[in-house]
Every structure is written in structure tokens, then in C-alpha cells.
Amino acid sequence: MVTTNVNLCGIELDNPIIPASGTFGFGYEFAELYDINILGTFSFKGTTKEPRFGNPTPRIAECESGMINAVGLQNPGVDKVISEELPKLKKCFNKKVMANVSGFSVEEYVHTCSLLDKCEQVGWLEVNISCPNVHGGGMSFGTSPEAASEVVRAVKAVTTKPVIVKLSPNVTDIVAIAKACEDAGADGISLINTMLGMRIDLRTRKPVIANKMGGFSGKAIFPVALRMVYQVAHAVKIPVIGMGGVSCAEDVIEMMLAGAVAVEVGAQNLIDPYACKRIIEDLPRVMKKYGIKNLNDIIGGVL
């Protein structure tokens, strides 16, 4: 018998597997395929203050070992998420869910987080600081320790639930940004978000993505994600959620050895909608194979 339970910011999870935001909708879509209550939890679709149609199409491009997307945070806005999406989810998911929040100003983050914080279904707020700061020249909030700190402090001032900050890998020093978030009061860190990628259509000689560039994700980024998780987990004292190219139970073990308390699965859900179910079912076998009785014993245990 193996133990897969982990504790994420004071909330117990049956296992560390969490479908990543943007790859699992609002959950009920996948509930038509299998019982999603087997998940540790999941991070629902990135939510903003106002409804967003997203970027122009085409906004998806396939790559050798991954994909590029520039969906543009398409979502119905926080009011409809609370009034329509969460009630639908409640019918098929009886655990706490992770609310992923995006914003284009500090005020937007504050508004959206304060509303979702009041929702009984929400267990954690995953604050995506990879968004462009419309009042700060368009640079992402997550590209500087000062901007990241400002968002975290503002959100923490209006919330009571754990705030987990999702970091972009498109920076020079991700450790400095993680530490700034911790110092500002973040309860956890999740990383990495997508890298920046591009494809060109040889026939038209134009970018495949209408936006020209987009977020690169999939198996190819796993080594980069693992390295960043290791660096951040050894620099902060708050829990770290690892993600980026995770596609099997072995990847989960690697992420946890690097220091992750829980692991998000992203692009693999779009390739195989049963990916998380398969990983959860295979985890005990892999644990036994490597002599692991309790997942908590290996967190940050890389030699």
C-alpha cells in the first residue's frame, strides 16, 4: 500500500495530480469522460474581470514535441463564471477547485480575486502574473520582482484563501521573482507557464499563429520546467506546484524530487483527455517500482 496524499497550503489532496488551467475547461466537460473526483483538484480556465473573446484565429500550432497557443484568455468573465460555470461544476465535482485568475491591471486582479475568494467551492487562487500590465507599458507583471510583489500584496489584502502565484519562464531570473512573491505574502508558487514560441508556414512564409507568437508547451519543455522548479523550490519556503511538459507518472516523481508538492498536467490533456486519469492510476505502480511508500518522503529529495 502506498500513500499518495499531499497537503497543498493546508488543504489535503488525495493525490498530487492537478489538470492545469486552460487545458481542462471548467471541469464538467471532462466529467462526461470519467469521474473527475479522482483528481487531487484542478485549475479552471483562466478568468478575467470582463468577458474575453480571445485572440484572432488561427491560434493553435502543432510542433514536433508540443504545441503553440495564443488563445488569449477567452472566458466569460468572473461574474458568469460564478453564476453559471461553478454551479455546473458543483454537480460533478465535490472537492475544492483552484481558481485561475488573470488581469491587465492590479485593480482587475483585486476585483476578480475578491469575488472568487467568497466562493465556497474555491480552495485556492492561482494568480497568473504572465499578463501584460496595461498601465505599465505592456510588460508582463511577472517579468519584474517589483511588479509581481505589487500584485501579490494587493490580492492578499482582499482575500482569505491561499494565493498561489503562477510564474512565467520568460524571464532572466525566475528565483528573484519567486522570492519577491514569497516576501509579498504569497502562499505558494506554481511554475512554469508556457514559454514563448513561433512557427512559420513555408508555403505562405507567414507565421502559423495570427498573433505571430504564442505559448509553447508540451513534452519538449519538461527539462526546462524541472530545472526552474528545482531552483525555486530550493529558494523559497512556501509550497511549489510543478508543471511544464508532464505526461506520465514518472514525470510526476521527477517533479516532486525537484521540490514540487503537487504537479499540474497541461498540454497532455489536449492530446489525451484521459491523461490525468491514466497518471493517477499508474502512480502506485511507479512508486513501488522506485521503492517509494509515501510521496511526501520524496518532495525535494533529489540527491
Q: Which three cell numbers stand for residue 232?
A: 525555486
CA distance 182 to 161: 15
- Verify whether residue 63 is a known catalytic residue: no
Q: Is 66 part of a structural domain of the chain?
A: yes
pLDDT at position 98, please?
98
Annotated active-site residue in 131, 181, 248, 276: 131
Query: Which range marks the domain in which residue 17 is found?
Result: 6-297
pLDDT at position 303, please?
82
Q: Is 303 part of a structural domain of the chain?
A: no
Q: Is 1 part of a structural domain of the chain?
A: no
Edge-first strand listing for the sheet containing 163-166: 17-19, 262-265, 240-242, 188-191, 163-166, 122-128, 97-101
Q: Residue 132 maps to which CATH number? A: 3.20.20.70
Give the total number of structural domains in the chain. 1
pTM over 0.95: yes
Q: Is 129 part of a structural domain of the chain?
A: yes
DSSP of the chain: --B--EEETTEEESSSEEEPTTSSTTSHHHHTTS-GGGSS--BPPPB-SS-B--SPSP-EEEETTEEEE-----B--HHHIIIIIHHHHHTT--S-EEEEE--SSHHHHHHHHHHHHT-TTEEEEEEE--SB-TTTTT-BGGGSHHHHHHHHHHHHTT--S-EEEEPPS-SS-HHHHHHHHHHTT-SEEEE--PEEE--EETTTTEESSTTS-EEEESGGGHHHHHHHHHHHHTT-SS-EEE-SS--SHHHHHHHHHHT-SEEEE-THHHH-TTHHHHHHHHHHHHHHHTT-SBGGGTTT---
Q: Is 286 part of a structural domain of the chain?
A: yes
Q: Is 266 part of a structural domain of the chain?
A: yes
303 residues of the chain, pLDDT tens digit each: 999 999 999 999 999 999 999 999 999 999 999 999 999 999 999 999 999 998 999 999 999 889 999 998 999 999 999 999 999 999 999 999 999 999 999 999 999 999 999 999 999 999 999 877 667 666 789 999 999 999 999 999 999 999 999 999 999 999 999 999 999 999 999 999 999 999 999 999 999 999 999 999 999 999 999 999 999 999 999 999 999 999 999 999 999 999 999 999 999 999 999 999 999 999 999 999 999 999 999 999 998
